[in-house]
């Protein structure tokens, strides 16, 4: 029987099990299977995903690296809430020299910065707006107000990638009910070749949006950092909000900033929010 030291963390209720690669490198188990077991909320630690700190296959010229595996065993390219937790972890464990550092991910290099208290600000990079790179089957650029069918409904949607694909739907209806009812069918809609995250968004004001999320590979979650970023980018491109937005999710609020606009889109997205340690322990495999 193997003992795996882990740290449980959460960012706005989006929770993760963080494990140093040295703890698991000699185990005869795939990361996919390990995530399924450890993230199980009845028979494991319980989490939305597993974050592996500094895996050998991701090491590059960045300060640190990661792999993140969803609770269903699939591997997303990026996760905003997970990145804030990862940033706090590597900073607290002395794995980086300063408060601002580079991380190698499947979505490229991400730059987080640990602020005061439990806040982390992350440069999430530039949003991807080309349909074939998101990817989504659409002839629009950017993909704004296209249509899709989900069950008994036709929705207008926008699409943005923040290293992972997002389907953004603006509505005045109950966003939680819509996410529960239509999230799965939209995630698996064939117009999204790699499936998609789904956000139902209500614009409260030019500086304030409310979001409910159906995450690809996870289902309903309390928060999604990349989803908040994609929602803000889509809000700005649709002329619904200003360039700095408070994004309310069931687990709490994020501040999202993007200097882009419908004409000049070449700007990085910045996300600021909390990341907290829940507990530490050993998992028996």
CA distance 39 to 142: 36
Instruction: From residue 103, give the alpha-carbon distance in Å to each of 28, 75, 83.
Output: 27, 17, 9
With beta carbons less than 8 A apart as the criterion, state whether 49 and 43 touch: no
Our CA angle for 266, 148, 244, nearest 5°, is 35
Active-site residue flag, 224: yes
DSSP state of 57: G
**Backbone angles phi and psi of 167, in degrees to 5:** -105, 120
With beta carbons less than 8 A apart as the criterion, state whether 69 and 42 touch: no
Identify the H or E element spanning 183: helix 175-187
CA distance 204 to 241: 9
Active-site residue flag, 39: no
Of the residues 39, 65, 79, 229, only one is catalytic, namely: 79
In a 13 Å sphere around the CA of 159, the CA atoms on its Cβ side amount to 29
Our CA angle for 115, 120, 125, nearest 5°, is 120
Catalytic residue numbers, as ranges = 79, 224
């Amino acid at each position: 029987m193997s003992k795996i030291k882990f740290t449980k963390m959460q960012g706005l209720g989006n929770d993760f099990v963080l494990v140093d690669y040295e703890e698991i490198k000699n185990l005869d188990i795939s990361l996919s299977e390990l995530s399924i077991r450890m993230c199980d909320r009845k028979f494991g630690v319980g989490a939305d995903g597993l974050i592996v700190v500094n895996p050998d296959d991701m090491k590059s010229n960045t300060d640190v690296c990661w792999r993140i595996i969803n609770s269903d065993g699939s591997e997303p390219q990026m996760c905003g809430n997970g990145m804030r937790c990862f940033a706090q972890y590597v900073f607290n464990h002395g794995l980086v020299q300063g408060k601002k550092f580079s991380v190698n991910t499947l979505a490229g290099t991400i730059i987080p910065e640990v602020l005061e208290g439990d806040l982390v600000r992350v440069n999430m990079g530039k949003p991807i707006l080309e349909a074939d790179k998101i990817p989504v089957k659409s002839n629009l650029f950017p993909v704004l107000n296209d249509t899709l069918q989900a069950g008994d409904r036709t929705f207008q949607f926008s699409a943005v990638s923040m290293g992972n694909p997002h389907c953004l739907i603006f509505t005045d209806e109950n966003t939680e009910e819509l996410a529960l009812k239509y999230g799965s069918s939209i995630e698996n809609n064939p117009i999204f070749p790699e499936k998609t995250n789904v956000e139902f968004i209500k614009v409260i004001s030019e500086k304030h949006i409310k979001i409910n999320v159906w995450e690809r590979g996870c289902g309903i979650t309390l928060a999604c950092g990349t989803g908040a970023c994609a929602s803000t980018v889509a809000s700005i491109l649709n002329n619904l909000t200003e360039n700095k937005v408070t994004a309310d999710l069931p687990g709490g609020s994020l501040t999202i900033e993007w200097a882009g606009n419908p004409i000049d889109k070449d700007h990085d997205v910045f996300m600021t929010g909390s990341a907290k340690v829940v507990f530490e322990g050993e998992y028996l495999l």
